Amino acid sequence: MINTIKPGQLYKLTQYEKLGGEIGVRTLVKHFYEAMHNTPEVKIIRDMHAPNLDEAEDKLYLFLSGWLGGPSLYIEKYGHPRLRARHLPFSIGTKERDQWLHCMDIALNKMTVEKPMHDELMQAFFNTADFMRNQTK
């Protein structure tokens, strides 16, 4: 079914669109991995990743495109993300979760995102990051 907008009907922008579409999401992910690479406080999660972050950056971009309401690029290329299963080889507790969220907070602060959207996104990232936790502490 094709959804059409009727005259006078409000069209609600997706978070993908509000972030600036492809360029916006790519920029967010670039800031995210720069923060991971350059922030000494997140050394534990930096060391979990490969020395070269290009592939991780590309995959997070593809995933977030769909997750934020844009094209489902990750699924088109790799199939179902099985995100929790893919993170099981890594020991993820509250410290690792909070380091990941810290990088995302730094990245979002570099974007022109208004406070309500920043908070909404951080809450959604928290939920997903907490779901990835496989350690109790």
Rounded least distance, CB 20 to ligand HEM, Å: 18
Structure tokens at 124: 């959604």
The dihedral formed by the CA atoms of 131, 107, 11 and 5, expressed in degrees to the nearest 10: -80
- From CA 76, how far away is CA 23, in angstroms rounded? 19
Q: Which CB atom, from 6 or from 137, has the smaller least distance to ligand HEM?
A: 137
* Interface with ligand HEM (CB under 6 A): 45, 48-50, 56, 59-60, 63, 78, 83, 86-87, 90, 92, 96-97, 100, 125, 128-129, 132
State in angstroms the smallest separation of the CB of 74 from ligand HEM: 6
Q: How far is the CB of 122 from ligand HEM (least distance, A)?
A: 11
What residues contact 4, with CB distance under 8 A and at least 6 apart? none
